[in-house]
Structure 1
Amino acid sequence: MDTNQPVGTVEASGSKKVIIGIIVVLVVAIGGYFYFLNRVSQSVSAEPIKIGAILPLTGDLATYGEGIKNAANLAIENSGMKDKIQIIFENDGTCTPANDISAAQKLINLDKVNGIVGPICSSAVLAVAQTTEQNKLTIISPVATSKSVTSAGDYIFRVIASDVDKSVAVAKYAYNKGYKKAALFFDAGQDAMVQQKADTKETFIGLGGTISVDQSFKTGDRDFRTQFTKIKQSDADVIFIGGVPKEAAFAIKQARELGIKLPFIATETSVGTQDMIDNAGSAADGLVFPFGATPDNKEFNDFIASYKAKYGQEPPAYAAEGYDATMLLIKAIAQSDRTPENIQKQLFEIGNNYYGASGLITFDKNGDVQKPMVIKMIKNGQFVNAD
């Protein structure tokens, strides 16, 4: 032992060893941490993506439900993750709230889904909101348009615009065409129609118009003679109608059979479908309605082509929205850590200037979107721009 070695040198050597030891421990700890994160990430990415879909697959709205179901399956095929995705379809009949709640509870508690596409009716979305919000489960509705959906919850999104702009637009159209006394004829059982009626009425009166008579019906009704008798006896010069295509078609046809020649102006975009023409026939001629402007982007054209190639027909109304809702949900889940909060966060990030089959999608803080709209009409059995 060198007794002449300075004490400071021994202390410095010992300190250096301690520092090196600490560095080694830190390197090992950090390496282990990132290894753990990588394993967790691999584990999460290896988990299947489970999506639920609540749709009307029977009844008067089955045309839309089947179209959205087809589009959802197409989105899965085109996602590049087909083998990792499981989708579970639940039939809610004709957007029956009790059925929707049961379907949501099953998908959450039994199937353990990561998110839900649908429901399509506003009343159904509002019915399941309490259940999905309590579980922080993200849902994306392809069709729900009521403004009530805006404030229904933090985990509720939609890829279609709210009714407000449509109702205001058709009210202004009617007033500017010279109609000043309106009859209201709306489905009282659908929240979206109730809101459309209120917004149309408020706008029309605000412009200087008046409401001559206010009548209602329910989904599934086929006899409207009592309501139309009252409308016929009024001094109305235009009829605002809000209802799903089948009921609206039967109503318009019955009105014409009763000799009512007043123009019909619909507040609901869904009346602009083949169902209306098939069920109302020539009675549908002259019907005016709001409609989402047709997108002019690659994603829209690719969707049309792939849908026709797979199913041998043109996609029905709202199929493009169903495709986008499914694809957005898949992407959000795939890029998340599978926690509800992170799925929601990813959806907000992905749904920012997202070009989809239904056009440009940007979610606002409420999960709503804005989309351009036009006023159309049925003329000689064809859909054309309104005069």
Structure 2
Amino acid sequence: MNQSTKPTGKITKIVIGIIIAAIAIGGIWYGINKNRQVAPGEIKIGAILPMTGDLANFGNDISKGMNLFAEQHPDLKLVIENDEGDPKKSISAMKKLSSIDGIHYFYGPFGPVAAEAVYSAQSESEKGLFTFVAMSMCTDQFKNYENMICNYPTPYYQLKESYKHPKTLGKTSFYVITSNDAFGESILQMMGDVAKELELNLLGSEKVNASDMDFSISVRKIIQTNPEFIVVATMDQPANIRIIKNLKEAEYKGMIYDGGDFEEKMVKEFQGVLEGVYLTGQPKLDYSSDFSSLYSQKYGEGKPSVYTAYGYVWADILYNLAKSHPKDQFTIQDMMDYVNSHPNDLAISGLNYDQTKREIEFPMQVFVVENGELKSVFVSSEE
């Protein structure tokens, strides 16, 4: 769930065209059925999920969790809109949920660009009609949005918590390899700030073209600076793997951190390259026994994904807040208060919002690849 790897400084500019393109479509919903009817005793919440398209695996996992919660609460009506991962369709879904379905609270959309698109497409009057939880990292600009809250920490928080690991081992000097683009600029700025806060020594950085097939020249230059660890952090995981391969071929003896998204099947596929490499950017989330049992009964053996757990958690939060506010719209503050007052009652335990920063916080963990398996070696709350 490492959404931290996407730059956000230009989100607002990106969505201007999306909003213009979507407003004619989405606008047909606004103003229709202004006197929305809700069945007596019925609690309605919605979701905007990518149920088809490139992001469908995330949407389907989230819907599993939300539907699992809904099955336990017959008074809950859950309406899921498929935006196919398209921000223009996210806007249309928002208009429909609010104006046609009469839903005041919804989960989604997925990712920072779609979240910004939905928020920016609202009229001032619509901001008073509903509250939504973006499935996104919490960028600085999002913290000021009055009816939207995020469910994932800022990129800076994730980096800061993850790179406490080498500090605990007495390793402080490092080099960063990232991509020669806006993402790389964002990573370098944040890693510089992390280095200052954690008192690490950033020796330098190398920007590369992620499409290159060989990085041996850059790697040899970096090794000459004798860093105790190297952070490989492009947005392209295959490029990260090629860089790591070159580092090992050059017989680099220090620690290597891969900051890209990863899955167990990737670790298996590239075991020879990734053996001994540290993988960052993953949350440490503990599931309640009740949730795990319900999941097992419904879907069989296996551990639920973090997206399924999040779907269940936010269906729970939105349902209970809607039930306790039958005549008025609950606020972002109400949501943060609810999460912080139920640390052990939700499907994911230990969630907490820093209410001053309006940012959710949870432990981040670091894995090392050992004999082709992922082994957790560090949890930020336990250092």
Same fold (TM over 0.5): yes
Q: Equivalent of 1:253, from 224, 236, 241? A: 241
User: Helix, strand or coil for the counterpart of 2:204?
Assistant: strand
User: Helix, strand or coil for the counterpart of 2:110?
Assistant: coil
- Asked if the contact 1:252–1:284 (Cα under 8 Å) also holds between the matched residues in 2, the reply is no
Return closer, same or farther for 1:252/1:323 CA change in 2, 3 Å cut-off. same
Question: 1:120-269 residue pairs with structure 2 within 5 A?
Answer: 120-131=110-121, 134=124, 135-136=126-127, 137-142=130-135, 144-148=136-140, 150-174=142-166, 178=171, 180-185=173-178, 197-204=188-195, 207-215=200-208, 223-225=211-213, 228=215, 231-232=218-219, 234-235=221-222, 237=227, 238-242=229-233, 247-248=236-237, 250-256=238-244, 258=246, 260=248, 263-267=255-259
Displacement of 1:214: 2.6
Return closer, same or farther for 1:266/1:133 CA change in 2, 3 Å cut-off. farther
Match of 2:294 in 1: 306
- Asked if the contact 2:106–2:133 (Cα under 8 Å) also holds between the matched residues in 1, the reply is yes
- Asked if the contact 1:287–1:378 (Cα under 8 Å) also holds between the matched residues in 2, the reply is yes
Q: Equivalent of 2:308, from 319, 341, 348? A: 319
Runs of 5+ consecutive residues of structure 2 not aligned to the other structure: 1-36, 379-383
| Deviation readout 1:95-146 (Å, 9 max, x if unpaired) | x54443344344334444322212332333233222358422211234x224
Match of 2:97 in 1: 107
Displacement of 1:213: 0.7
Larger radius of gyration: 1
RMSD in angstroms over aligned alpha carbons? 3.6
- Asked if the contact 1:150–1:368 (Cα under 8 Å) also holds between the matched residues in 2, the reply is no
Return closer, same or farther for 1:186/1:326 CA change in 2, 3 Å cut-off. farther
Runs of 5+ consecutive residues of structure 1 not aligned to the other structure: 1-41, 218-222
- Asked if the contact 1:48–1:84 (Cα under 8 Å) also holds between the matched residues in 2, the reply is yes
**Residue 365 of structure 2 aligns to which amino acid in structure 1?**
V
- Residue 77 (str. 1) matches residue 96 (str. 2): no
Match of 2:49 in 1: 54
| Deviation readout 1:42-80 (Å, 9 max, x if unpaired) | 977534514123336432x443332212111112123x2
Displacement of 1:168: 1.5
Displacement of 1:149: 5.7
Return closer, same or farther for 1:279/1:99 CA change in 2, 3 Å cut-off. farther
- Asked if the contact 1:126–1:149 (Cα under 8 Å) also holds between the matched residues in 2, the reply is no
Return closer, same or farther for 1:321/1:43 CA change in 2, 3 Å cut-off. closer
User: Helix, strand or coil for the counterpart of 1:315?
Assistant: coil
Bigger share in strand: 2
Displacement of 1:233: 5.0
Distance 2:200 2:266 in 1: 30
Return closer, same or farther for 1:156/1:377 CA change in 2, 3 Å cut-off. farther
Distance 2:141 2:303 in 1: 29
Return closer, same or farther for 1:57/1:264 CA change in 2, 3 Å cut-off. farther
**Residue 162 of structure 2 aligns to which amino acid in structure 1?**
V
| Deviation readout 1:167-187 (Å, 9 max, x if unpaired) | 113334346553634123269
Q: Give the share of equivalent positions with the same residue, in percent.
A: 16
Distance 1:230 1:357 in 2: 48
Distance 1:194 1:47 in 2: 49
Return closer, same or farther for 1:58/1:235 CA change in 2, 3 Å cut-off. same
**Residue 219 of structure 2 aligns to which amino acid in structure 1?**
K
TM value normalised by structure 1? 0.69
Distance 2:217 2:96 in 1: 45
Return closer, same or farther for 1:199/1:58 CA change in 2, 3 Å cut-off. same
Q: Equivalent of 2:317, from 303, 323, 328? A: 328
Q: Equivalent of 1:382, from 369, 373, 377? A: 373
Bigger share in helix: 1
- Asked if the contact 1:252–1:283 (Cα under 8 Å) also holds between the matched residues in 2, the reply is no
**Residue 161 of structure 1 aligns to which amino acid in structure 2?**
P
Q: Matched residue pairs, number? A: 323
Question: 1:356-371 residue pairs with structure 2 within 5 A?
Answer: 356-363=346-353, 364=355, 367-371=358-362
User: Helix, strand or coil for the counterpart of 1:225?
Assistant: coil
Displacement of 1:333: 1.6
| Deviation readout 1:197-239 (Å, 9 max, x if unpaired) | 532232236522222313475xxxxx4427x456435315544
